Amino acid sequence: MSYDVQYGQKLISGEKAAGLVKSGDRMLYAGFLLEPVFIDGLIAKRVEKKELTDVELLSMCYPGFCMAAAADPKAEHIRYTNAFFSPGDRILHEMGTCSHVPSLFSEIPSYFDFNEPFDILYLRTAPIDANGFFNFGIATTFIRRLIDNSKKVVIETNDTMPYCLGGLGENVHISEVDYVVESDNAQILVTTPAPANDTEKIIADILLKEINDGACLQLGIGGMPNALGALIAKSGLKDLGIHTEMIVDSIVDMYEAGCITNQKKNIYKGKIAYTFGFGTQKLYDFVNMNPACASYPVDLINNPGIISQIDNFISINNAIETDLYGQVSSESKGFKQISGSGGQWDFVHGAYHSKGGKSFICMTSTYDDKEGKTHSRIVPYFTPGTPVTVTRTMTQYVVTEFGIAQLKGKSTWERAEALIDIAHPDFQDELVKKAEEMNIWRPTNKKD
């Protein structure tokens, strides 16, 4: 049977797609830019009419606001859970309509092996191609595993989704799909890179000195990675490689400046390897049909065993706080869930075990709360309820605008003093006092 005939037989309206959900169903949204925004809005209308009860919805990092969950503010009809919070998910969590799924990004595909298949999967893709495939665009992540573990697969196509070439698992064939919906083709989420402040620029300058020609980089999201990318683009560094869970605009800047060749990489040589991305239209245009880029499943990109095989791997990630033992929190402040573990643990572990590799946890030394009060990000201990993202035994380098603290192989007092040295001076005396109260021993013969 031709692809056109199959497509015609499986093509349905958005309303009919939304009507496939039944009370008691376990439902999946694909996550990131593959969230089925068009169908989600139609499911939300059914929720508002109280047509559904006891529905479970699982997703990851909804780019905007999950309308089906928002339509049920008392969570009486839909139980919405999410493995990594977007700003919209964070709001729903504060409202009590979203729960968090603690997870390591690299392991998420395996979680589906422990559960019964989900009743229905909704995902957004690029339109069908000449060979009968729907491309997952800029979010390959773990979509193939979702498809393999769902009883029904419903696609909504969107012609603003870039067609991203990959190395594995970046497409699904029409023969594997149950239904197709042609959406309203609303523009996929375009995000403007966060501008770096002066402090983040200082941190970026410190990190630049740690990168050599031929290094392979993983950059997180935010102002500091953007600042670092801008510095690298002007630095004259050569033969850099990219192996990162998230592709961002700063990588495009470095590539266009001639810094990135990917020729020194041990694995996926010649390719900017990634598993998802968010950014400006410039980024989406860059990845579209670009053979310099390759999208892979997250259990390959974030696999610490694979990362460790890439020589001179440099992992750079942000954090919310670090305590005096060297524990890192990057996902929550007390009981306030902000994001998730994501792939930070994966890259911290993998980079340290890379030949010549380094793992950096970066943060400004202070932040201001809503009332304008300044707080230290280096704290004696975490607020109750704060989860540890990276354990003290794993943390290698912590960076603030005041320098770098290397923690591997150091005692508790050496760690504490190294961290206090890069804390903001206004908080150092109090941190020393707390360290003594906590019985983190400080040698009496060490000079202040």
Tokens 């594997």 locate to 176
User: Under the phi-then-psi rule, with left for phi > 0, alpha for psi from -120 to 50, and beta for the rest, what region is 162?
Assistant: beta
Give the active site residue among 35, 245, 321, 331.
245
DSSP track, 35-56: S-HHHHHHHHHHHHTT---SEE
CA dist 429 and 439 (Å) reads 16
Backbone region of residue 24 per phi and psi (left: phi > 0; alpha: psi in -120 to 50; beta: other values): left
**Contact 360/164 with Cβ under 8 angstroms?**
no
What values do phi and psi take at 342, rounded to 5? 55, -135
Burial of 439: CB neighbours in 10 Å, binned 0-12, 13-18, 19+: exposed
Q: Is 245 a catalytic residue?
A: yes
**What's the CA gap between 195 and 253, in Å, rounded?**
15
Euclidean distance between CA atoms 330 and 360, whole angstroms: 13
Amino acid, single-letter form, for residue 103: S
Using an 8 Å Cβ cutoff, are 299 and 342 in contact? no
Unique residue bearing structure tokens 């306030």 = 336
Closest CA to 361 of 377, 374, 376, 372: 377
Count, residues in the chain = 448
Query: Which residues in 300-373 belong to E strands, given as ranges?
Result: 313-318, 321-323, 328-329, 332-333, 336-337, 358-362, 366-368
Q: Tell me how far apart the 2 most distant CA atoms of the chain are, in Å.
A: 82
Pairing of strands 321-323, 293-295: unpaired
Please name the residues in contact with 198: beta carbons below 8 A apart, sequence gap of 6 or more: none
Q: Which residues are annotated as catalytic? A: 245
